[in-house]
Amino acid sequence: MITFEQMRIFLAVAEREHLTEAAKALLLTPSAVSSAIHMIEEHYQVRLFNRIGRRIQLSDAGSVFVEDCRHTLAQVKVAETTLREFSGLKRGALGLYASQTIANYFLPPVIAKFRNLYPAITVKMSIGNTEQVENAVLSGLTDIGFAEGTIKNESLHRQKVADDELFIVAAKNHLLTEKTFVTFKEISAFPWILREKGSGTRAIFEQALANHGYELADLEVMETFPSNEAVLSAVAASNALTAISKRAVSALLAAGLVERLNFLSVRRDFLLLLNPQRFKTKAVGAFIDLLDG
C-alpha cells in the first residue's frame, strides 16, 4: 500500500515539477525521491509524470492523484495536531474570524492577554461581516467566530461573551441634535449611511425597526460602507444619520464630532461561535476560558 511518506514525496515533486528541487526541499537524495515515485507507479501500473527531456509534467492520472494527496495529507496534519495538543500548549495555532466591531473594539486586549499567557500559540484573526463569520465557522475555515448579528444556522454553538448597544448618531450641530426626543418621521426626512448587507450592525438595526413597526425601506439609504470608520467619517461630514455600535462611536462622541439622537436605543450581544463538528483544540479551550474569566 502507498505510504504517507510516498504521498509527501510525490506531492513535493508535483508542486515543483523537478526531482532534484523536491529532494532538496525534503532533505532526501534525488535517488530516494525517484525510487519512491517509481515504486508507486510500478505497484499501481500507472504513470504519474510524463518525462519531457530534462523536464517532468504531471500525467492525467497524476493531476487527479495530486488533489487526493493534498486532501489526505491535510487530514493527517489535523490528526497530528490533535495528538500534539495532549503535550500541552507549547506550540500550535488559533484561528479567529470576527465581525468588524468585535475585531476592532473587543478582541484586541483579549488577544494580547492570550499571547502573554501562551506566547508559542500563533493567533491569526480575519475580519468580515456577520454573514462571512458564520460561513467561515460552518466551513471549518476558522476555529472560533465572533459575531453580533442574527445567526441563521442552528447547528452552530453560540455563547454570549459581551454586551453592546447601537446608537443613532448625526454630525455635530445637526438639526435633530437639539431635540429631546426624535420621531421616526423626523429621522426619515434625512438620508442614512449604513453598513453593508450581511453586517450584524445593519441586521440588528433593521430588526429593531421592525420590532417597533417601522421598515428600513422607509429610510433613504444613500450610501453603504464595509467599515464602521468609513460610515462615521461620512456621517460627521454630512447631514446623514446612522446606526452604529456604542464601542465604535464612543471616541467621536467624546471628541464632539458626532452627537447621539434619542431614538431607538438597541442592545445586542456579542456571540462566540463554534462548529460542534470541529475538533476543539486546547488552544481554543484556553481562549474560551480566558473570555469566561
- pLDDT computed for residue 87 by the predictor: 63
Domain 164-267, architecture per CATH: 3-Layer(aba) Sandwich (3.40)
Coil, helix or strand for 46?
A: coil
| Mean pLDDT across the chain | 91
The answer for residues whose C-beta is within 8 angstroms of residue 120's C-beta and 6 or more apart is: 89, 90, 91, 92
Residue with cell 532526501: 28
What is the dihedral angle through the alpha carbons of 38, 40, 43, 48, rounded to the nearest 10 degrees?
Answer: -80
- pLDDT computed for residue 152 by the predictor: 86
- In CATH terms, 84-162+270-292 corresponds, of 3.40.190.10, 3.30.450.20, 3.30.1180.20, 3.40.50.720, to 3.40.190.10
The residue ranges of the chain whose pLDDT is under 70 are 85-87
Describe the strand order of the beta sheet including 242-245 as a list of residue ranges: 121-128, 92-99, 144-147, 258-274, 157-171, 242-245
Domain with CATH 1.10.10.10 in the chain: 4-70
CA distance linking residue 73 with residue 75, whole number of Å:
5
CA distance linking residue 65 with residue 247, whole number of Å:
50
- pLDDT computed for residue 74 by the predictor: 87
Domain with CATH 3.40.190.10 in the chain: 84-162+270-292, 164-267
DSSP state of 197: T
CATH class for the region spanning 4-70: mainly alpha
Q: Using CA of residue 82, residue 83, residue 89, residue 92, what is the dihedral sign?
A: negative
- pLDDT computed for residue 86 by the predictor: 60
Q: In which element (H, E) is residue 165 found?
A: strand 157-171
Residue with cell 468609513: 230
- pLDDT computed for residue 293 by the predictor: 79
Give backbone dihedrals phi and psi of 224, rounded to 5 degrees, phi first. Answer: -130, 150
Please count the residues of the chain. 293
CA distance linking residue 291 with residue 185, whole number of Å:
42
Type of residue at 213: G
